[in-house]
Amino acid sequence: MSIAYDVQDGIARITFNRPAKLNAMTLAMYDELGAAFKAAGEDDRVRAVILTGAGERAFCAGADLKEAIPALARNEIDISAWDAAHLKGLNLDKPIVCAINGLCMGAGFEIMLATDLRIASSTAVFSLPEVSLGIVPAGGTLVRLVRQIGYAAAMEILMTADRFSSEHLLRVGVLNRVVAPEQLSQTATEWAERLVRLSPTALQVTKRAVRELSDLPLEEAFRREAVLGQLAFTSADAKRGLAAFAEGKKVEHY
């Protein structure tokens, strides 16, 4: 399988596993990735997800230009068939930590934007080269990028097809953290382990709320926020956490 999936200690690790081809996405890999995301969402053992790429050269260098792009150009594929791989409509409310090593281009960049916490190697390189090929990054990026960072910064990335450093994407708000290459895997694992120890209910309600409330009118968003907040306040996790707080204790693991 070119998408590896493994679960240990509450963490699902999903890996682009085609390092000899810079982890470029074949048609089969889109299906495999969507299936892996669905499996993580449905598996009660999974509390957090790490998404990364095999090898040091690439996280994911984009769609395989010898297969996926020509098939799209011949109109043989409806791009919506890849929605699960791009986390469109899948509503995976468990937190996803993205560990970006090496090249993160095209489809790799798009899938990264669907994750929640993003840690990149200092040597990673980012690009959306689609406009230079006469196409557009329609795997969620035309919606997500400008909502996640400022308009001017988003349009520079979308419209120039330039390559950008980790430090640049950290400055404009695409990334959370940049670390040395040898620290990437350990740092991503430590972040995921921290998430595993937190309330799964609170984390999932938080992610669901951010997704659902961002485009609602203000008063409607406040009303919906109260409904979602009540789900957390009345959960078993909340009872445990608040009881520990009242006793001056800390919940070490939910």
DSSP state of 49: E
What is d(CA 97, CA 226) in angstroms, rounded to the nearest whole number? Answer: 27
Which strands, in side-by-side order, build the sheet including 163-165?
Answer: 58-60, 103-105, 125-127, 163-165
E strand spans, the chain = 3-8, 11-16, 48-53, 58-60, 96-100, 103-105, 117-121, 125-127, 163-165, 177-179
**How far apart (Å, rounded) are the C-alpha atoms in residues 68 and 64?**
6
Which CA distances in Å does 100 have to 4, 15, 54, 114, 146? 16, 11, 10, 13, 20
Long-range contacts of 148-153 (CB under 8 A, 24+ apart): 148/113, 148/173, 148/174, 149/173, 149/174
* Neighbour-count burial for 204-238, b at 16+ CB within 10 Å, e otherwise: bbbbebeeebeeeeeeeeeeeeeebeeebeebebe
- Dist CA 142 CA 132 (whole Å): 16
What DSSP designation does 56 have?
Answer: S
Closest CA to 53 of 106, 3, 116: 3
The residues that are catalytic are: 110, 130
